[in-house]
Amino acid sequence: MKNKFPIFLALLTIIGACNSNPKPTENLEAKPDNSQTSLDWPGVYRGILPCADCEGIETEITLNADLTYVISSIYLGKNNEAFKETGKFNWDETGAKITLENAASKATNQYLVGENILFKLDADGNRIEGELKEKYQLKKVYFDNEISEKYWKLIELNGKKIVLGKNQNIAPHLTLKNENSRVFGNGGCNAFQGFYELSEGKKIKFSKMAATKMFCDYMETEQELLGVLESTENYSVKNDTVALKNAGMVSLAKFQLVYAE
């Protein structure tokens, strides 16, 4: 025991010396996450902003990673001409807001950048309040080049194969255009158009559909197709075929690729 006691004292001395050394301090000055650094903000944002003397301003803003932008504005109820503006934008010190600057007009616009959304700010850089505050938003657009910019011919509707009428010269079809998220097509007699919105997870919604009013002998398929578009919530693509489905993933319509535009 006498031989072991000095060794025990030595071990206690070593352990005490190790514990007396101060621990390195953690870096508490790390830069916090913000919209600029943590969000996938480059892309296209769309919406209809309020307008004092028109029905609304159909607005599309493209934010590029090189800090340049493009704005397209259509004043609804006045004309269908799109006014385009380009320029550069800057982030504020917090990395939350951007200021769009047009060198030609010297005009500036400010937006708060959220996840997949832009909030238009007032002249002082504050969120707009009041009854219309929800209208001052532009939502990020999701693109899927598997289905957009292509001519799709209807081949099946609610489980039934499509057979053209005896004097039917136009096959039912549709095309999804990336610009302004517009859909154009024909039910076999009347042309139709409207808007669509894609979201992640192969989600799709059609809205504001309108068609011409010509009468044909084969109107049932056309009316059924327009009804299907209103009920569509999902889609899938396999080879050269796209299927439109409802919320329960039941196939409502199938289209075959004819050509890419």
**Domain CATH for 252:** 2.40.128.270
Residue 21 resides in a domain? no
DSSP 134: G
Which one of 90, 115, 140 terminates a domain? 140
Which one of 140, 166, 195 terminates a domain? 140
If asked whether residues 133 and 162 sit together in one domain, one would say: no
If asked whether residues 118 and 167 sit together in one domain, one would say: no
- Determine if the pTM surpasses 0.75: no
* Positive or negative torsion for Cα 171, 199, 234, 238: positive
Judge whether 120 and 108 are in contact, CB under 8 Å.
no
Domain that holds residue 115: 35-140
If asked whether residues 256 and 224 sit together in one domain, one would say: yes
The rounded distance, in Å, linking the Cα atoms of 130 and 201 is 34
Tens place of pLDDT for every residue, the chain, 261 residues?
Answer: 445 445 544 444 544 544 544 444 444 344 567 999 999 999 999 999 999 889 999 999 999 999 999 999 999 888 778 899 999 999 999 999 999 998 777 778 999 999 999 999 998 999 999 888 999 999 999 999 899 999 999 999 999 999 988 888 899 999 999 988 999 999 999 999 999 999 889 999 999 999 999 988 878 999 999 999 999 999 999 999 999 999 999 999 999 999 998
